[in-house]
Structure 1
Amino acid sequence: MNRIAICGEPLFNGEELNTHHIVPVAQGGRDDIENLQHLHHACHKQEHSKSKSTRLK
């Protein structure tokens, strides 16, 4: 069963899913399958908020 690394929950647990760029497009990431992952909406928001706090340091 596929699980989300961020929360440890199964990918298909009824939550809304978002497609996330592992390497952001703004940093040269592409829309290739190798650079995309599915995340729960809440995990996607968490991943982006983590990136913002890292950029502020």
Structure 2
Amino acid sequence: MSLQALQAKKEKLLIKRDKLNEQLKAITSQIEAEELATIRNILKQENMSVEEAGKLLRGKKEE
């Protein structure tokens, strides 16, 4: 394979990698948003604010 062909292949792979990284970022952001929504729903069910939950968690970490 010629050097030019290898460079072209490398460029295509770099572009593909960049596209996959962008997709991964989007998926990760979506998952994080869904997890936060789930946590907020649980807190609502428990009638607890995010601040109260944070204080509770910080208190447990110190134990």
- Whether TM exceeds 0.5 here: the answer is no
TM-score bucket of the superposed structures, by smaller chain: 0.3 to 0.5
The structure with more strand, counted as a fraction of residues: 1
The structure with more helix, counted as a fraction of residues: 2
Larger RCO (CA within 8 A; separation ≥ 6): 1
Query: TM-score, normalising length from structure 2?
Result: 0.31
